[in-house]
Amino acid sequence: MIDRATFGREQVAALIQRGEILAAYDIARAALEAGETSREVAYVAVLCLARAGAADFARAEYVRLGLAQADDYPEAVALGARLLKDVALASLGARRVAFAKASRRRYDALHRRFGGLYGAINAASLSLLAGDQVGARARAAAVLATPPISDTRDEAGYYELASRAEACLLTGDLGAARAFLTDALARSPQAYAARASTLRQLEILCGELGVDPTWLAPFRPPACAHFTGHITDLTGERALDGAGLRRDIDAALKDQRVGFAYGGLAAGADIVFAEAVLDAGAELHVVLPASLASFVAVSVAPFGEAWIERFERCMARATSIRYAARDPYLGDEQVFAYSSQFAMGCAVLRAQTLSTQAVQLAVWDGHVAPGPAGVSADLAYWARGGRPAVTIAVQRPALGPRGAIIPDPASDRRAMRAMLFADVQGFGGLRDEQIPAFIEGVLGRMAETVESLRTPPTHVETWGDGLFLVFERPIEAALAALALLEAHRKLDLASLGLPRGLGLRIAGHYGPVHLRTNPLTKAPAVMGAHVVVAARIEPDVAPGSAYVSEALAGALATLHGDQVRCGYVGRTQARKGLPAMPIFSLSRAYRTSSRTS
């Protein structure tokens, strides 16, 4: 057995705190594979799987690693209850009730043996999910009758007060719930992760109780904004216009309580937005459509050296910088549209993580521009998600000089597509006599599932256990991935003579691709750098799960948050000279009527 110090307890805790779940899991898994048998390491491994969205695999590992029998280990008991709760929240009808009751029993056991409010308040909430509103009120009343702890200034104090706010909501005392929540947030005003967890729990209960969740609005963290505006020169004779625009932007940022802003950094409105965001003390997250040098040459430098200097200052102060693509701009306006949609998705994902509002701020002249990109296109795309937008009206700007742009032949234009790569972990270990059963049972079920989709893929390729599917819309790919996972879970692998550990893994991405004809096969081909992005994710996917890129997760969150949800799980491993990239777990949306971002 390896030395426990090798496990790196503090390193793992720090990774989990930052949301780097996959990196933490890799450390725990390596320790287990090296012979570590401590319950702490097993607990961390399963916790990471649960947070990574690998619900089925997490439950299987929870049993395999002996945590289901660790009744004297409070963390393990709480984790088992949480795993059952996750299934309940993602289910409907009898299945929802059954898993809610099972989770409640675990939380009851946690409270009986170890005390505290955590098990008690969760048991009360699970009673409500199980359809027992009377029991939920009684349990919540018992929570409120518990004497408070003496010192409520630390993190435990925050959760003490948040638990009492939850209990008040269950008993129908909304005024007291507000008061407890106000006290909790006053003690930890910057603990956004803890606040988001509390707000999500309260939103679920509001949905179950039929309570309007708008009472939670004052408690939400600062808003996340996508900003967009015209490329224009606001120096020289137009300097006065620039000063007026800055005042309008400052007012909009204040009115909307913006704390996190995502967008491009072209000369004109974009840079004015970015400077205002930074001066307000908010986070600036830059999303560029092409390589740095190419973007500056096309969208900044033609307007003068002063804009380049302002661009560089904003870049230096930005919290993060993302590239929708790292290739030079070759005249395809689709890359600008994709970059804007990517930035919008990042803003919505951050809002969901923080359980706060996402808003769009736009400087617009009222002109609907032709083509896929531009402020009007950004406004139209955002409006499809039904979220608020603030438009700052300006006169139509004179664009002035432009950088050299290579013409865009129709044959070189790319199409936006959502892509899935899937494979079956463990396929390489099958014996040759098991291959026919795998083809008929596993691949056959995949084929049936794909054929039954409401919107079939526009392109299909397969090799061995691998599957490549292409769809026109992100939601089509997401629903296909979930259907494939659900179909695979229902397989009785043992009856097929196959190992129980064969786990389907699916990776997804959304981006511009080349639709061509393969010269060798004469068959249609989908090719390009964004196809490679999807393939890079697959090796990091936990068995029984679907992970997607930030671009696909953002598109789904922006337009289809009522159907699916995407949770950040960490970054891919850097491989073959390519940098690590953020990835998100894909699952069906929780069955709740609330919507916050």
For residue 470, list its beta bridge partners: 419, 459
Q: How far apart are CA 86 and CA 54, in angstroms?
A: 11
> Which residues of the chain register pLDDT less than 70?
1-7, 18-19, 150-154, 233-242, 331, 396-412, 574-577, 590-597
Supply the DSSP string of 32-94, one letter for each residue: HHTT---HHHHHHHHHHHHHTT-HHHHHHHHHHTTGGG-TT-HHHHHHHHHHHHHHHHT--HH
How many Cα atoms sit within 13 Å of 322 on the Cβ side?
25
Neighbouring-strand partners of residue 475 = none
As given in the structure block, the two tokens for residue 109 are 């056991």
554, 583 in Cβ contact below 8 A?
no
Question: Alpha helices of 401-511 — where are they, by DSSP H?
Answer: 435-437, 444-451, 474-489
**Is 116 buried (19+), middle (13-18) or exposed (0-12) by CB count in 10 A?**
middle
- 4-219 with 223-410: one CATH topology? no
Nearest residue to 573 via CA among 54, 41, 50, 27: 27
Domain spans of the chain?
4-219, 223-410, 414-588
Q: Which two tokens stand for residue 300?
A: 């900044």
4-219, CATH topology level? 1.25.40
Classify strands 545-549 and 524-527 as parallel, antiparallel or unpaired: unpaired
The residue type of 394 is V
Q: What is the pLDDT of residue 22?
A: 74
74 CB neighbour count, 10 Å cutoff: 16
At residue 16, the pLDDT reads 76
For residue 238, give the H/E element and its range: none
pTM for the full predicted model: 0.84
Residues 209 and 206: their CA atoms lie apart, in Å, by 5
DSSP assigned state of 555: H
CATH of the structural domain 414-588, one choice from 3.40.50.11030, 2.30.30.30, 3.30.70.1230, 1.20.58.220: 3.30.70.1230
Q: For residue 80, give every residue at least 6 positions away whose Cβ sits within 8 Å of its Cβ, in sequence order, or none.
A: 62, 67, 68, 106
Residue 535 near residue 507 (C-beta atoms within 8 A): yes
By DSSP bridging, strand 258-263 and strand 582-588 are unpaired
Structure tokens at 375: 């402020």
Give CA–CA dist 534/518, Å, rounded.
Answer: 20
* pLDDT tens-digit series, residues 300-327: 998 889 999 999 999 999 998 999 888 7
Task: Determine which helix (DSSP H) or strand (DSSP E) holds 400, and give its type and residue range.
Answer: none
Digit-coded pLDDT (tens) for 510-536:
998 888 888 888 888 888 888 888 888
Q: Which CATH number fits domain 223-410: 3.40.50.720, 3.40.1160.10, 3.40.50.450, 3.40.50.300?
A: 3.40.50.450
Q: What is the pLDDT of residue 280?
A: 95
Q: Angle at Cα 106 formed by Cα 100 and Cα 112, nearest 5°?
A: 130
Cα angle: 498, vertex 95, 194; to 5 degrees:
100
